[in-house]
Amino acid sequence: MDAAPRMRVNGVAAAAVGAADRGLAYGDGLFETVRFVGAGAPLWARHMERLARGCARLGLPPPDPALLLREARAVGEGLDAAVVRITLTRGEGPRGYAPPAAPSPTRIVAAFPPPPPRAQDYRDGVRVRTCGLRLAEQPRLAGLKHLNRLEQVLARAEWNDPAIAEGLLLDAAGRVVSATAANLFAVLDGELVTPALDRCGVAGVARAEIMAVRAVREAELKPDRLAAASELFLSSSVRGILPVRAWDARACAVGPVTRALQRHWRELGFPMEAG
Amino acid sequence: MDAAPRMRVNGVAAAAVGAADRGLAYGDGLFETVRFVGAGAPLWARHMERLARGCARLGLPPPDPALLLREARAVGEGLDAAVVRITLTRGEGPRGYAPPAAPSPTRIVAAFPPPPPRAQDYRDGVRVRTCGLRLAEQPRLAGLKHLNRLEQVLARAEWNDPAIAEGLLLDAAGRVVSATAANLFAVLDGELVTPALDRCGVAGVARAEIMAVRAVREAELKPDRLAAASELFLSSSVRGILPVRAWDARACAVGPVTRALQRHWRELGFPMEAG
């Protein structure tokens, strides 16, 4: 048994939530997955910014970031590294879609071990495939990390070959959007570009960090355009900067922009695997 | 306190589910809301058919309908009438979208009091509005009653005037799809029509019952076409057949097709309010 309880629900060590919670009933809520290194989370402020934006868009009272940080540190206590998932729902309420006028949100903070380090993935790159599922366009929810994730579940269920790290998702119009659990960047004619996320997709905090430190253009990217990229990489708050070495049958080179961002990730304090 | 526990989780009287349940984490599951009259549920078989279809499409092991019926009767014991919500999730699993190869689904069966009877709604009809939110088109999920319901929550949050019973939802192309928690039917040139649900929307069991007993054409319905309807009504497994007497600023008459289906609902065994 762990010494520290690894999950808190509304501040109390617990492993369960009310079965009438709207997070379960309707996916009515948001989440963040935060990579901790010891007691620190280099992208913490960006997670809190996205969570606040999501609360504003869903009409949820925003949580206190200082409280969340205390709880995240408590559930991760004693771990060298952890992924802390923060889930915020609209709480319990009467049956029916109508949100309660004065919701009492449910706050779940849970620590998990980080994915096993695979240094070769960061050095040589990973393989990705193109998913068959097409993301639906819903501007009202685009960019948010909300709890309605059946599209990602179905897309991720399309393959189980462990040699394939991720799946690229297109929208119904055939534009590349992201991977199932990471954002996508490409270097095209020397320019760093990433898909716009105003119709669908999750605007990752790692993506926001990259856009804060590099010139990045948001663009519509069809697969044939992406095929001309000199570099392709994935960004994720949990996994950092992952070069893509193969996309379907196409081989990709790992290039200098990817390496520079991996260095930036190490300078932020993220560990070894990121480079 | 009630004599009978009104909720069971995996067969055991309980009010909580594991906070790591994929139903909460990702909305990875399905639900049914079943109207019981005493120990009977006139549309039970249709609920079980839809649940089985949803399980097949999401790759969930289907539950045993006989077990669900026993549990539904147990949570509703002693109630003259109840709405029983059955929620089925992919259960707990490791963090990440990839569904476990051998999931242990979570089964939640809970009884609620039915909505208060409002005889005048069934006699005179209800008012509905047009929602601003547009439903996204996702053929992989269309028709299912899955747990990803943020669109319905946001649409239902658009009004709080209790005089308005429902909101009509359009898709991004401007086609009418349904109400937030009911299907929509119209009589057009003497023909009963309802929107096709192959792109978005929930294929209700009340809708299925109507289509089994009447000739119904599934059609693309734009608002200007709907405005020519001689009758408009909503169908819901919980609320039955609700005539629409006003849609935005437009008044609607309650007609013979609506009345015939209300009679059919009473013949099925549903109560008083349905006519």
All residues at 6 or more sequence positions from B116 whose CB lies less than 8 Å from its CB, including other chains: none
Q: Quick one: B134 exposed, middle or buried, by C-beta within 10 A (0-12, 13-18, 19+)?
A: buried
Name residue B221's amino acid: L
Cβ-defined contact of A153 to B15 (cutoff 8 Å): no
Q: Does B138 touch chain A (CB under 8 A)?
A: yes
Nearest-angstrom CA–CA distance, B251 and B266: 26
- Give the residue, B161 or A95, on which the prediction is more confident: B161
Tokens of B91: 């259960």
Q: Tell me whether B173 touches chain A (CB under 8 Å).
A: no
Contacts of A138 in chain B (CB under 8 A): 136, 151
Per-residue model confidence (pLDDT) at position B5: 77
* Per-residue confidence (pLDDT) for residue A239, from 0 to 100: 95
Tell if the CB–CB gap between B25 and A87 is shorter than 8 Å. Answer: yes
- Contact (CB<8Å) A19/B17: yes
Give Cα A223 to chain centroid, integer Å.
Answer: 22
Q: What is the pLDDT of residues B30-45, one digit of tens each?
A: 999 999 998 899 999 9
Closest by Cβ to B97, choosing from A58, A59, A152:
A152
Residue B2 confidence (pLDDT) above 50: no
* A236 touches B: beta carbon within 8 Å: no
Type of residue at A235: S
Q: What is the DSSP letter of A40?
A: B
* Alpha helices in A137-236, H assignment, sequence order: 150-156, 205-213, 223-226
Please give the average per-residue pLDDT across B53-63, as a whole number: 97
Contact B188/B257 with Cβ under 8 angstroms?
Answer: no
Cβ count near A67 (within 10 Å): 12
A147 and B25 within 8 Å at the Cβ level: the answer is yes
Best residue in B135, B145, B148 for a mutation probing chain A (most A CBs within 10 Å): B148
From A25-29, A78-82, B199-203, B228-232, the region with the lowest mean pLDDT: A78-82
Percent of chain B with pLDDT over 90: 92
Strands B176-179 and B164-171 come out as antiparallel
Instruction: Give yes or no for A153 touching B (CB within 8 A).
Output: yes
Question: By the 8 A CB rule, do A192 and A215 touch?
Answer: yes
Encode B178-247 in three state secondary structure.
EECCCEEEEEECCEEEEECCCCCCECCHHHHHHHHHCCCEEECCCHHHHCCCCEEEEEECCCEEEEEEEE
Q: What is the ipTM of this complex?
A: 0.96
Query: CA-CA distance, B201 to A96, in Å (whole number)?
Result: 16
Does residue B23 belong to the interface with chain A, where contact is any CB pair within 8 Å? yes
Question: Which pair of tokens denotes residue B188?
Answer: 């057009």
Reply yes or no on whether the pLDDT at B27 is more than 50. Answer: yes
Q: pLDDT below 50 — which residues of chain A?
A: 1-2, 274-275
Tens digits of residue pLDDT in B77-113: 999 999 999 999 999 988 899 999 999 999 999 999 9
Identify the pLDDT of residue A116: 84
**Model pLDDT, residue B1:** 45
Say which of B146, B181, B200 has its CB closest to residue A97: B181
Q: What angle do CA A49, A53, A54 make, to 5 degrees?
A: 115
Tokens of B68: 């669900």
Domains located in chain A, CATH noted: 7-112 (3.30.470.10), 119-274 (3.20.10.10)
User: Would you call A154 and B101 a contact, using CB atoms and an 8 Å cutoff?
Assistant: no
pLDDT of the residue at B275: 42
Amino acid at A272: M
**A15 to B15: CB separation less than 8 angstroms, yes or no:** no
* Structure confidence at residue B116 (pLDDT): 84
d(CA B121, CA B161): 15
Q: Does A89 touch chain B (CB under 8 A)?
A: yes
* Cross-chain residue pair B97–A156, CB shorter than 8 Å: yes
- Of A162, A154, A143, A249, give the one whose Cα is nearest residue A204: A143
Contact flag A24-B147 (C-beta cutoff 8 Å)? yes
For residue range A151-178, list pLDDT tens digits in order: 999 999 999 999 999 999 999 999 999 9
Report the C-alpha gap between B233 and B220 in whole angstroms: 17
Q: What is the mean pLDDT of residues B198-224?
A: 97
DSSP chain B: --SS-SEEETTEE-SEEETTBHHHHH--EEEEEEEEETTB-TTHHHHHHHHHHHHHHHTPPPP-HHHHHHHHHHHTTT-SEEEEEEEEE--B--SSSSPPSS---EEEEEEEPPPPP-HHHHHH-EEEEEEEEEE---TTTTB--BS--HHHHHHHTT---TTEEEEEEEETTS-EEEESSSEEEEEETTEEEEE--SSSSB--HHHHHHHHHS--EEE---HHHHTT-SEEEEEETTTEEEEEEEETTEE----HHHHHHHHHHHHHT--GGG-
Q: What is the mean pLDDT of residues B59-76?
A: 97
What 3-state DSSP class applies to A140?
coil
* Residue A94: other Cβ atoms inside 10 A: 9
